[in-house]
Structure 1
């Protein structure tokens, strides 16, 4: 993974991440959190007992690959900003919390563990975007029959701010030490759940965008 800084680019291997946390139900607006919970209840997902929820998964799931493998057709991704802490400080990138929706109805934590989590190979120092943080925009797109369609869009104000998320994680007993990555929750869907394969994080103040896209290779479920 490459971290883009104002005056230099520092190459940091993704293998340096030794802990990966997926934060769920991280919305600032309780009504939007409820909407997302209801979206998942439609497919049988039990509501959480408390929010936000922090699911630790294997760090090897985080990838900058442009293709991931899944089992079956009931999987989908959602755009999220991703925080990364290194010995050089905090960085932010954009990623997709790709999840097995069939398994999610049984166990959210297990459903997070069985899918790779694609992320951009580029990131920004968090300090460079914190002054305009609430103006950053997340988007994801789906491609159906060759046509790109907006799947999600909204400001990062939809989610708890980075320092708030980190503080809540540490109050829950977590340790956000160097080598930790956290995928920080998603936006409500525009029209219902499907596969969003392109995603981006835009800083309209500086005119910069982090992007990534990926394909799915689905293995048929053996009968």
Structure 2
């Protein structure tokens, strides 16, 4: 039986509050771009890896809550996986909170089934969350960025603002319309990503962050990737 993890989170609003959170449902939103040109670029780079375009946009993939992790080491079979930074929406007791995470994905599996690929790798998340109500007036200015350690070199892997993606309100409205269910307490949703600078590729380590320039604060996390032998 799959065990639902308990996540240790810090709710950062007027004061800081440490909580233990048990996720009820984990959803990964895909193809959430507002900029159709940028989304087309990301589709094209994945098509080069043999990954088919989605039937609809946005699309919502269910994944096991056990895949959410705060660990700093991911162990994956083979060398075909890679990370991507995303904002992460939490519903905690009916209130919305924003954090950041990496939708680390097995790209070889993604080439034949995206839903299955979402279940292949753990999804690292940062522990600190900001209240969405405190971000609404400057939401589009929030930056997401990632760096990757590739062949021993730290490179900028992604960089842009969340204005590139649908807002949490738009995503939740679309999710509820498509599924006929509410985004309720205990639910967690990853909100989409940016095109990779230099193309999608594996890395020895991956770091990601969400930056709020208006308030001068940043949420970040870093993890290493161990490629386990794939002996067939």
The TM-score bracket by the shorter chain reads over 0.9
Contact kept in structure 2, 1:137 and 1:201, CA below 8 Å:
yes
Deviates more, 1:49-58 or 1:137-146: 137-146
Q: Does 1:194 align with 2:201?
A: yes
Q: Does 1:144 align with 2:153?
A: no
Contact kept in structure 2, 1:2 and 1:122, CA below 8 Å:
yes
Cα distance, 1:88 vs. partner? 5.3
1:44 is aligned to 50
Query: What SS does the aligned partner of 1:189 have?
Result: coil
Summarize the alignment of residues 1-40 of structure 1 with structure 2, pairs less than 5 Å apart: 1-14=8-21, 16-40=22-46
Cα distance, 1:13 vs. partner? 2.3
2:186 and 2:69 mapped to 1: Cα distance? 15
1:205 is aligned to 214
Q: Does 1:179 align with 2:186?
A: yes
2:118 and 2:63 mapped to 1: Cα distance? 7
Q: How many residues align?
A: 222
Deviates more, 1:91-100 or 1:192-201: 192-201
Q: What's the C-alpha RMSD, in Å, of the aligned pairs?
A: 1.2
2:96 and 2:37 mapped to 1: Cα distance? 30
- Any gaps of 5 or more consecutive residues in structure 1? none
- Any gaps of 5 or more consecutive residues in structure 2? 1-7
Contact kept in structure 2, 1:3 and 1:91, CA below 8 Å:
no
1:209 and 1:195 mapped to 2: Cα distance? 25
1:5 and 1:107 mapped to 2: Cα distance? 37
Moved over 4 A (4+): none
Cα distance, 1:105 vs. partner? 0.7
Deviation per residue, 1:36-89 (Å, 9 max, x gap)? 111111000111111001000001101111111111100001000000001051
User: Which of the residues 114, 123, 126 maps onto 1:120?
Assistant: 126
User: Which of the residues 160, 175, 183 maps onto 2:166?
Assistant: 160
2:10 and 2:177 mapped to 1: Cα distance? 28
Contact kept in structure 2, 1:3 and 1:125, CA below 8 Å:
no
